[in-house]
Amino acid sequence: MHRRTFLANLSAVTATGILLGSSKLAAKATSDKYPELARHKISAADLVQVSYHWPRVVGRNGTKDVHGQYQTAHVLRLRTDQGAMGWGLSHSEAAGSIQQIVGKSVADLVSPEAGIVKGLNVFHFDFALFDLMGVILKKPVYQLLGAKGTKETPVYSGMIYIDELAIKDDNTRTLDTIMNNCAWDYNYGYRQFKVKIGRGKMWYSAKEGMEMDVKVFKMIYEEYKGRKVDLLVDANNAYTLDDTITFMTGIGGIPLYWMEEPFPEEAESGRKLRDWMNKNGFAKTRYADGEFIRPGQMDVAIEMVRDGIVNTYLNDIHAIGITNWLTAMPIVAKAKADASPHAWGDRLKTNYTTHLAAGLGNVSTVEGVTTFSDDIDYGSYAIRDGKITVSDEPGFGMKLLKLK
């Protein structure tokens, strides 16, 4: 099998002139089209640590131990000499590189058409520069991206974990814990639940784990089958091909919205699964994969999308940034597939994804991560009746609170 890299795909698009990179020509084109971006120069850049928490302790998935509840993240805050401020999710490792953009005009760093320029790490700079660009141009990010989608997008709860197992000294957790979590998420506004499976890899024997995976899925279905709730499953690569078929056979004719990461991306096994699904009542079930592959790595999932195996592409919204989604989305759409960027972690990533959905279109559903914080005002992104609404405020429309 010939594996294409995501970087090769980006290079191919660059050759057509869609991505102008970091050349002086690109900066001049941005300055000419958006003179306001050229007028603003970065006067300060700093990292800020923020705290947030999920509504409950999040337990295990198929391959990782307890996730906990209280978390921290680093965000990049940018100020300009004209008084504008933008910020976005970054990483502590950005500390050594953020000063490289100080003194440069915003037009030298980012544009709506191409995203951030070559040479800047999307993982560190992407969201802050898109937010700043929107603030300066007084437009929400989705409008900068073309407003090709709809302002409301289906949203799923990504927080239904393997939560029947005890955590430290808490022996009160049972299958009722999972059902209570589903009820909380339903009342919050979700109408899609993503259920973690793969218990037999680490937490149960293989046989007991598979039986429990099937039991939990059926239990949730029976509770919500009359309430128009879609069920998704995510094995976090804890299954084999045979395991995946065993699980899907075990749930029988229950509708399954998608199967996510059944096993590590591999085209031959993926094709066998897709063929089996098409022949055994799961033709409409999405095969979702490609969660966390950074630009330049061997991206088997993109090839699987091109080959009609994976039909929902999941690459993480933070890992490749909006910048690389500008290139990835046309590739996905051309293959008649859709996208649902991985957003697990915090509400910031969920909200960013709504702009991608409303801006570029072709997003089937958004990963909802319910998050609360005293450090962040998450803005106007209402979740009602299974859909999330994008904010119309400039940039991403979120605010940092209690800053020194």
The pLDDT value recorded for residue 39 is 97
Q: Would you state the pLDDT for residue 5?
A: 38
Query: What is the sign, positive or negative, of the torsion defined by CA atoms of 382, 218, 180, 197?
Result: negative
Find the mean pLDDT for residues 294-317.
Answer: 85
Single residue among 87, 107, 138 that ends a domain in this structure: 138
How confident is the model at residue 9, as a pLDDT? 40
Domain count for the chain, please give it: 2
Q: Say what the pLDDT of residue 26 is.
A: 76
pLDDT (mean) for 350-376: 98
Among 102, 130, 108, 142, residue whose Cα is nearest residue 29? 108
Alpha-carbon separation of residue 97 from 130, 157, 169, 276 (angstroms): 18, 35, 43, 48
Q: Which residue has the higher pLDDT, 4 or 232?
A: 232
Q: Is residue 165 part of a domain?
A: yes
Percent of the chain exceeding pLDDT 90 equals: 87
Taking the C-alpha atoms of residue 317 and residue 325, their distance in angstroms, rounded to an integer, is 8
Query: What CA–CA distance (Å, rounded) separates 135 from 85?
Result: 7
Which H/E stretch holds residue 110? strand 110-111
* pLDDT band at residue 299 under the 50/70/90 scheme: confident
Is residue 364 a part of any domain in this protein? Answer: yes
Q: Does a structural domain hold residue 10?
A: no
SS3 content of the chain, % helix, strand, coil (to 5): 40, 25, 40
Instruction: Report the range of poorest mean pLDDT among 23-32, 180-189, 230-239, 265-274.
Output: 23-32
The tokens for 222 are 């029976």
pLDDT(20) > 80 = no
Residue 184 CB contacts under 8 Å (≥ 6 apart), including other chains: 55, 56
Does one domain contain both 249 and 132? no
* Same domain assignment for residues 308 and 166: yes
Write the pLDDT tens digit of every residue in 310-357: 999 999 999 999 999 999 999 999 999 999 999 999 999 999 999 999
Mean pLDDT of the 201-215 span: 98
Instruction: Please give the model's pTM, rounded to 2 decimal places.
Output: 0.92
Q: Confidence class of residue 170 from pLDDT cuts 50, 70 and 90? A: confident
Mean predicted lDDT score pLDDT of the chain? 92
CB atoms within 10 A of CB 266: 16
**217 and 102 belong to one structural domain:** no
Q: 157 versus 168: which is more confidently predicted?
A: 157
pLDDT confidence bin for 230, thresholds 50/70/90: very high
CA 214 to chain CA centroid, nearest Å: 26
Helix/strand/coil for 119: coil
Domain assignment of residue 9, yes or no: no
Residue ranges making up the domain that contains 133: 19-138
Q: Do 228 and 190 share a structural domain? A: yes
Q: What is the mean pLDDT of residues 213-238?
A: 97
Looking at residue 169, its pLDDT comes to 80
Identify whether 143 is part of a domain: no
Is the Cβ–Cβ distance between 354 and 141 less than 8 Å?
Answer: no
186 in the same domain as 55: no
Establish if 146 belongs to a structural domain. Answer: no
Residue 177, pLDDT > 50, answer yes
Q: Rounded distance, CA 181 to CA 115, Å?
A: 38
Least confident of 31-45, 283-297, 361-375: 283-297
Looking at the structure, do residues 127 and 173 belong to the same domain, yes or no? Answer: no
250 and 334 assigned to the same domain:
yes
- State whether residue 232 is helix, strand or coil: strand
Last residue of a domain, one of 109, 138, 167: 138
**Stretch among 17-21, 126-130, 347-351 having the lowest mean pLDDT:** 17-21
Domain co-membership, 232 together with 277: yes
Asked if residue 305 belongs to a domain, the reply is: yes
State the Cα–Cα distance between residues 343 and 347, nearest whole angstrom.
Answer: 8
In this predicted structure, the answer to whether residue 380 has a pLDDT above a threshold of 60 is yes
Q: Mean pLDDT over residues 195-206, rounded?
A: 98
Contact 399, 378 (CB under 8 A): no
Q: Closest Cα to residue 262, out of 242, 292, 280, 282?
A: 242
Q: What is the mean pLDDT of residues 193-206?
A: 98
Q: Identify which of 249, 256, 184 has the alpha carbon closest to the alpha carbon of residue 221.
A: 256
Quick: pLDDT tens for 263-286. 999 999 999 999 999 999 999 999
Average pLDDT over residues 163-191: 95
Whether residues 239 and 361 fall in one domain? yes
Is 147 contained in some domain? no
Give yes or no: residues 163 and 61 share one domain.
Answer: no
What share of the chain in percent tops pLDDT 70?
A: 92
- 376 and 276 in a common domain: yes
The CATH number of residue 38's host domain is 3.30.390.10
- Give the chain's length: 404
pLDDT above 90: residue 297? no
In terms of C-beta density within 10 A (0-12 exposed, 13-18 middle, 19 or more buried), how is residue 353 classed?
buried
**What is the reported pLDDT for 186?**
98
Tokens 């504008």 sit at which residue?
84
- Are residue 99 and residue 159 in the same domain, yes or no? no
pLDDT tier at 72, thresholds 50, 70, 90: very high
